[in-house]
Homo-oligomer: A and B are copies of this chain.
Amino acid sequence: MRALSARGSLSAAQIARLTGLAKSTVSMALAELRRADVVIEIGSDAAGSVGRPATTLSLNPEAGTCIGLLIGQSEIQVIVADVAHNVLTDTSLNLERDYDPEHAIRLIRELISDAYAEQWRSQAGLLGVGIAVGGPVSNSSGEVMRGGIPRWTGINLQEVFGPIFDAPVFIDNESNCSAIAEMTWGAAQGFDDFVVFTLDLGVGGAIVSGGKVLRGIAGGGGEFGHVVLDPDGPLCRCGNHGCLEVYASFIEPLDEARRHFGQPGLRISDVVQMALDGDELCRGLIKDAGYAGGRGLGLIGSVFNPPLIVVSGRLAPAGDILMGPLSEAFERYSLVKSGDVGEETRTILRPSQFTDNGGCMGAVGLVLRNHGGPLH
């Protein structure tokens, strides 16, 4: 059940491979789960098979729901998905950058009630709640750490959200959740080792090694936005000076675009769309952010020399406008130059497949991977 819930749909043979269980054990368990209507047949996959096509199985969408929650820099988002990870509702709200946590918690409760009411569903079958936080969170306690969302610092999310739901709550930072989404359904499918690099209002990332997200001893792993480039540089929200985020965050470029177009409500996705439509100012802003980010990414390259880097965040849909200067700076500032190594040992740079809701979908993935204990 956990294999199906993490991967979506699988054949019996794939389940046996993934879980290490004997085929006979898997097929006995499946027979029982199908009788109980928990597992259903969703089709057959003839691709590449020689004998009769394998039946593809999935969890029955009616078997339960998960909630994915994003607590971001200036937004909150709620996704309700079934165990087959079909998205039932996806709602987000933009807030002021310094929004009040109390207020946000009330909004989140309302959004969730509305989402279930809309779907005529009860929260009785809720498997768990995944929370993606736009900054570092403590592994052990679920406490929001410094360097994330200023007014949430020190708030214990497990204590806040635990009592609200009659289901387990799983917490990780947004970038780690994005990594789970990319690995499970996105740009990193088939990779056990990769790095996610997030360019957005905040700059962050995640490290996946051997299929596991490296969270760090205190939950501070993958905080690429807070590598100090210039100790004499401008103050960062984390309290240090000259962090990568200070140079590559899209906060200032977004403000510039808002001023330029006289539209205070302009969003990153609007800037990206205008850039794609050929607007020179928007193209320039994205290019500059890409190059600044690429400098930091080069540094990450020298640290890991990873097989794959997935570029995530709401700038990713800008495609080559972003990826061009980003790749150029990456190549320039990392140790291993692509011209010096064979094709098969070159780092692949690829935009994310979850640009709008990677963190929040990853929070759903967090529930699917962890409810009832981790799969591995």
The interface residues of chain A, by DSSP majority, are classed as loop
Q: Decide if B138 touches A218 in the complex (CB within 8 Å).
A: no
Residue of B nearest to A224 (CB): B303
Interface string of A296-330 (1 = CB under 8 A from B): 00111111111100000000000000000000000
A154 to chain B, nearest CB (A): 9
Residue of B nearest to A236 (CB): B335
Residue of B nearest to A301 (CB): B220
Q: Decide if A304 touches B345 in the complex (CB within 8 Å).
A: no
A140 within 8 A of B: yes
Q: Decide if A220 touches B302 in the complex (CB within 8 Å).
A: yes
A145 within 8 A of B: yes
In the complex, identify which listed stretch (A48-56, A180-188, A208-216) lies at the interface while the others stay far away: A208-216
Q: Report the separation of the CA atoms of residues A277 and B230 in the bound assembly, to the nearest whole angstrom.
A: 35
Q: Decide if A226 touches B305 in the complex (CB within 8 Å).
A: no
A219 within 8 A of B: yes
Q: Decide if B207 touches A210 in the complex (CB within 8 Å).
A: no
19 contacts between A and B (CB under 8 A): A136-B335, A138-B341, A145-B341, A210-B210, A218-B305, A218-B341, A218-B346, A220-B301, A220-B335, A223-B302, A223-B303, A224-B303, A226-B335, A227-B299, A229-B229, A230-B230, A238-B335, A300-B303, A303-B303
A96 within 8 A of B: no
Residue of B nearest to A153 (CB): B340
Q: Report the separation of the CA atoms of residues A301 and B300 in the bound assembly, to the nearest whole angstrom.
A: 12
- Chain B residues near A146 (CB-CB < 8 A): 335, 337, 340
Interface string of A157-199 (1 = CB under 8 A from B): 0000000000000000000000000000000000001000000
A202 within 8 A of B: no
- Chain B residues near A229 (CB-CB < 8 A): 229
Instruction: Given A341-B138, A345-B139, decide whether A336 and B145 contact each other with a Cβ distance below 8 A.
Output: yes
A240 within 8 A of B: yes
Q: Report the separation of the CA atoms of residues A336 and B240 in the bound assembly, to the nearest whole angstrom.
A: 11
Q: Decide if A345 touches B140 in the complex (CB within 8 Å).
A: yes
Copies in the complex: 2
- Chain B residues near A212 (CB-CB < 8 A): 210
A175 to chain B, nearest CB (A): 12
Q: Decide if A209 touches B217 in the complex (CB within 8 Å).
A: no
A265 within 8 A of B: no
Instruction: Given A228-B298, A295-B231, A302-B223, decide whether A345 and B209 contact each other with a Cβ distance below 8 A.
Output: no
A342 within 8 A of B: yes
Q: Report which of B136, B215, B333, B336 forms a contact with A216, defined as CB distance below 8 A.
A: B336
Instruction: Give residues of chain A (322-376) contacting chain B, Cβ–Cβ below 8 Å.
Output: 332-333, 335-337, 340-342, 344-347
Q: Decide if B304 touches A207 in the complex (CB within 8 Å).
A: yes
Instruction: Given A228-B298, A228-B299, A345-B139, decide whether A216 and B147 contact each other with a Cβ distance below 8 A.
Output: no
A221 within 8 A of B: yes
- Chain B residues near A68 (CB-CB < 8 A): none
Q: Decide if A342 touches B140 in the complex (CB within 8 Å).
A: yes
Q: Report which of B216, B342, B347 forms a contact with A304, defined as CB distance below 8 A.
A: B216
